[in-house]
Structure 1
């Protein structure tokens, strides 16, 4: 076989699993189910039992048409939940682009801050540097407010992702936020466009993204619009497609996978790893 056509054995990287708890009224997948403190904490406990390494609390939905939630309301939704989980020693991430909410979460023990706008206000970088939190810097094709559906050429999206992270990571580091605190998320679904192609191209190029920036990568295909469009499945039926995308991300080297169904992904990774081990042992 020609050496240029040979490939090393495909392995799989065991990522950290980030379990999603939406404390919202209008999440596209589970709105209003975990709005009370009791419901949110109980769901977090279930996700931890299923294998979640991190629990991510989302106090506001980000899909097109989501209701606008003030920082005060976000903090009210988070307060008791984050307090209880942190007291139990649970690593917590908070998904909010509002600086007030981010600082509130950091002050109450959050380990990660996840910003769908990619921390777009340099005036707040000094405060972020002081928090000590790890920052999940997310890319979106539209970064001036919650993302909306747009049509963008897949190649342009990929170039835009690289340009965005080149600029944003440099800016955060210049403000005193060390690179080992940074995690990148290229965004998927409506954050990249209204068709599946940009998300598929981004997932397919995950290894290149990791090599280009040499920082941990978080991927979140769970129940996303590009999978529903690709398969024609409703949210309630999108589990198999989600799992396929998550396993592909793990094979591509994702360091974190943010998911609604932690148990399914945990079991799939366990089986995949067992098969890879059996292959290495030979016939």
Structure 2
């Protein structure tokens, strides 16, 4: 018997939309292996929706630079049964993969979001992107496909981020991809380098990045190393630090927040919205 579609956590509230993270992996830094089995991933995704996630972000491979590589065939094998169940539920899905073969599979299944930590670097895939209607999350990272690159570039990191976004937007738009479909992710944690102050600096300047391009921003700070570094907390103990950083992101203009724990974020956004309504 098919499980009932998950119920929402309650009325929609003003503020950023929430992406709930499901890592269908064996080696994710935050929960590696917990949701590798399809039934575990499906159940967790349904829980995230019930806790307030507007979108479920499925990651079939870890983005940790020390993780083992995963082929497109294996990514698709991991995704297929989870997608079957969640699409049948009517859940809005994002696929977190930089492999064009996996992205093509997702588009063929009608997935409405692609989330690429390399920011869609392959021009050969642009015609397929242009022919689709999917929203595209273009992320900045210092790695740019080189897993062994760990240090931030010299100079102002926000300038590096904005230069990357400007170049990539030009390339995507030249290929016929509507700018209105694009969401920008400035990266956080090891995507910006090993020093916590780099990520905090970008977090504090989100409004500047958003203002430059006039496009929505997605921010993902959940349980990340820069928060653990300043609090001394382990990954599983980083919930309070995560929530604080997520609220700052919302205050700075983030339109989407990607998180492991939608419930506390949803409640915090509800409180912020209530206070705003009385100010």
TM-score by length of 1: 0.91
Q: Residues 53 and 208 from structure 1, CA distance in 2 versus in 1: closer, same or farther, beyond 3 angstroms? A: same
What's the CA shift for 1:131?
2.3
Give structure 1 stretches of 5+ with no counterpart: 1-11
Matched with 1:45 is 46
- Give the distance between the partners of 2:218 and 2:147, measured in 1 at CA: 19
Does residue 1:88 correspond to 2:89, yes or no? yes
2:61 is paired with a residue whose SS is: coil
| Residue aligning to 1:149 | 150
Asked if 2 retains the 8 angstrom alpha-carbon contact of 1:147 and 1:190, the reply is no
Q: Is 1:33 matched with 2:60?
A: no
2:167 alignment partner in structure 1: 167
- Residue range with higher mean Cα deviation, 231-240 or 178-187: 231-240
CA contact (8 A) 2:158 2:209 kept: no
Query: Residues 117 and 145 of structure 1 are in contact (CA less than 8 Å); yes or no, is this contact kept in structure 2?
Result: no
Give the drift of 1:74. 0.3
Q: Give the Cα separation in 1 of the matches to 2:153 and 2:200.
A: 13
Greater Cα radius of gyration, structure 1 or 2: 1
Q: Summarize the alignment of residues 1-283 of structure 1 with structure 2, pairs less than 5 Å apart.
A: 14-146=15-147, 148-153=149-154, 155-278=155-278, 280=279
Evaluate the alpha carbon distance shift between residue 16 and residue 42 of structure 1 in structure 2; reply closer, same or farther with a 3 A threshold: same
Paired residues, number: 267
Would the aligned equivalents of 2:14 and 2:270 in 1 still touch at CA under 8 Å?
A: no
1:149 Cα offset (Å): 2.4
Deviation readout 1:21-78 (Å, 9 max, x if unpaired): 0000011111111111111111111000001000000000011211110110000000
Q: Distance in 1 between matches of 2:150 and 2:234?
A: 18
Show CA shifts across 1:112-142 (max 9, x none): 1011111111121111111221110000012
Q: Distance in 2 between matches of 1:106 and 1:86?
A: 13
Structure 2 gap ranges (5+)? 1-12
Q: Considering only aligned residues, what root-mean-square deviation do their CA atoms show, in Å?
A: 1.4
